[in-house]
Amino acid sequence: MMKKTTLFLCLLLLSLATHAQLRLPHVLSDHMVLQRESEVMIWGWGNAGSHVGVKASWLPDTAVAVIDGGGHWRLSLKTSAAGGPYTIKVTSNEEIITLNDILLGDVWLCSGQSNMEWGGAQNLPEIIQELPKANDKQIRLLQVSRVTAANPQEDIVNVWQQLDSASLRPFSAIGYFIAKELRSELNVPIGIINASWGGTGAEVWTPTQVIQGDKILADAADRQTPASFRPHRAGSLWNSMIYPLRDFAISGAFWYQGESNVGSWSSYDLLMQHMVGAWRAAWSKQFPFYFVQIAPHTYNNKQPLAALLREQQDRTARTLANSGMVVISDLVDNVKDIHPIQKQAVAKRLATIALQDHYQLGSQSDYKSPIFKEQRIKGDKIEITFSQLDGKLQLKGDQVEDLFIAGADQKFYPAKGTIQGNKLIVSASDVKQPVAVRFNFSEAGVSNLFNSNGLPVAPFRTDDWSF
């Protein structure tokens, strides 16, 4: 009798396991934000050959898909204007999954290394002060866990959370402050995904085949050495922390990374072009990509490798379509600390570019840092002009810091900088026939030259000499 009972229970459990196959990826969960006024993908797994019905409460009809032979299904839903909360009910045979408290708004992906990752878990003062008042239920957070994988994965282990002190503490400070800024200006629900890992090179966020398909990138990736605190193999975080999100509609991405690529600076622009291209291809969308130029820090390299990395980032900003770069060479309290604590100001600059360029909200001028345009040699002086500069330059202090000038002998001397409206006039008594200028082109130089809105002039050099 006991054997018959055991057999019956086993068969019953097997039957239940066979039929209870309807499943959604974790990114589709209660409390999520779906991209408003667009087509969003709903997908999952189930019993091969069965039908799946998806009923969104903002739509009158039920969308239907057939589960393929591999047990996969997917369909798209049209989303309406911002609003909610809504529900989504997914049914197949007699199985039902209901998602509650769904908002329609804008979703942004934040990624990079520690300066993007850090928040309350690292006791950043700005976030600690926010914790008691983090109660805007129109902001939703998705924290992607640190997981690596040798091959592309189909799911993550995390779900969406409402904003409160508990969900905010481990979250990206920059991601949160971006959400807060966009929420204030747009008055729509905002969903922020944080997929970051401190100390990582950009290679780990790029598909392996993309790195291996380019000898320059492959050689640079080989210089990423193992460490106990982070992965170093190309593609390992793309596989586990980015690829599983590819069907989830986003507005765009914010990126703060580069410190771990200082040693391989020469290929960084090439790497960014390929990485962003791969991300956009995965989403089938040329979404905006806004990033942070790395901050001043005493790397103690024999040559100014961090300055050369920033030059690569400047190149990316000039050539990568639908991108924007914020300069933070003024937002550093301690150049010996690679983690500047002023995250809210960084987030505001990123959000401002998004509001201007992506949302086309307002007509603010000088919302990006001035970047070098051209030089004109005029006797014993060099006149520097800038792109992204509508108003006048302004100096904070008595003289322009970290400014140098050189002649044909390629020897640089400290220079005097004089502001004439939107131009910088550079000279030095030791250089009678100047050829080149360098501004803030060092590893730890803190800028004191700004546009009319207080954004620092981006570091630059007018030469291409080797060091």
pLDDT of 20 reads 67
Q: How far apart are CA 10 and CA 406, in angstroms?
A: 83
Full residue range of the structural domain in which residue 413 is found: 371-461
Query: What mean pLDDT do residues 345-353 have?
Result: 98
Q: Is residue 410 located within the same domain as residue 424?
A: yes
pLDDT of 19 reads 52
pLDDT in tens, 314-325: 999 999 999 999
pLDDT of 467 reads 83
Final residue belonging to a domain, choices 358, 385, 412: 358
Percent of the chain, pLDDT > 90?
95
Q: Is residue 211 located within the same domain as residue 150?
A: yes
Residue 100 contacts residue 85 (beta carbons within 8 Å): yes
pLDDT in tens, 14-39: 444 445 699 999 999 999 999 999 99
Query: What mean pLDDT do residues 127-155 have?
Result: 97
Q: Is residue 178 located within the same domain as residue 308?
A: yes
Q: How far apart are CA 190 and CA 184, in angstroms?
A: 10
Around Cβ 382, how many Cβ atoms within 10 Å? 23
Q: Is residue 119 located within the same domain as residue 174?
A: yes
Final residue belonging to a domain, choices 55, 73, 103: 103
Around Cβ 428, how many Cβ atoms within 10 Å? 21
pLDDT range class, residue 362, cuts 50, 70, 90: confident
Query: What mean pLDDT do residues 445-453 have?
Result: 96
pLDDT in tens, 67-124: 999 999 999 999 999 999 999 999 999 999 999 999 999 999 999 999 999 999 999 9
Q: Which of 1-10, 69-78, 87-96, 338-347 has the lowest mean pLDDT?
A: 1-10
pLDDT of 13 reads 42
pLDDT in tens, 282-293: 999 999 999 999
CATH number, residue 92: 2.60.40.10
Partnered with residue 125 across adjacent β-strands are none
Q: Is residue 264 located within the same domain as residue 331?
A: yes
User: Is residue 182 in some structural domain?
Assistant: yes
Does position 8 have pLDDT exceeding 70, yes or no? Answer: no
Q: Is residue 78 located within the same domain as residue 144?
A: no
Does position 4 have pLDDT exceeding 80, yes or no? Answer: no
Residue 170 contacts residue 143 (beta carbons within 8 Å): yes
User: Is residue 467 in some structural domain?
Assistant: no
Residue 308 contacts residue 275 (beta carbons within 8 Å): no
User: Is residue 133 in some structural domain?
Assistant: yes
Final residue belonging to a domain, choices 64, 83, 103: 103
Q: Is residue 254 located within the same domain as residue 143?
A: yes
Question: In 67-181, at which residue ranges do the beta strands (DSSP E only) sit?
Answer: 72-78, 83-92, 95-112, 139-143, 161-162
User: Is residue 171 in some structural domain?
Assistant: yes
Q: Is residue 437 located within the same domain as residue 454?
A: yes
User: Is residue 3 in some structural domain?
Assistant: no
pLDDT in tens, 233-279: 999 999 999 999 999 999 999 999 999 999 999 999 999 999 999 99
Structure tokens at 104: 């329609």
Instruction: Give the predicted TM-score (pTM) of the model.
Output: 0.95
Q: Is residue 40 located within the same domain as residue 55?
A: yes
Averaged confidence pLDDT in the chain: 95
Task: Name the more confident of 377 and 365.
Answer: 377
Query: What mean pLDDT do residues 180-199 have?
Result: 98
Element (H, E) at 39: strand 39-45
pLDDT of 5 reads 47
Q: Is residue 300 located within the same domain as residue 430?
A: no
Residue 342 contacts residue 351 (beta carbons within 8 Å): no
pLDDT in tens, 325-335: 999 999 999 99
User: Is residue 110 in some structural domain?
Assistant: yes
pLDDT range class, residue 465, cuts 50, 70, 90: very high
User: Is residue 4 in some structural domain?
Assistant: no
Residue 141 contacts residue 135 (beta carbons within 8 Å): no
Q: Is residue 406 located within the same domain as residue 348?
A: no
Q: Is residue 94 located within the same domain as residue 119?
A: no
Percent of the chain, pLDDT > 70?
96
CATH number, residue 210: 3.40.50.1110
Identify the DSSP state of 23. Answer: B
pLDDT of 158 reads 98
The domain tally of the chain equals 3
User: Is residue 7 in some structural domain?
Assistant: no
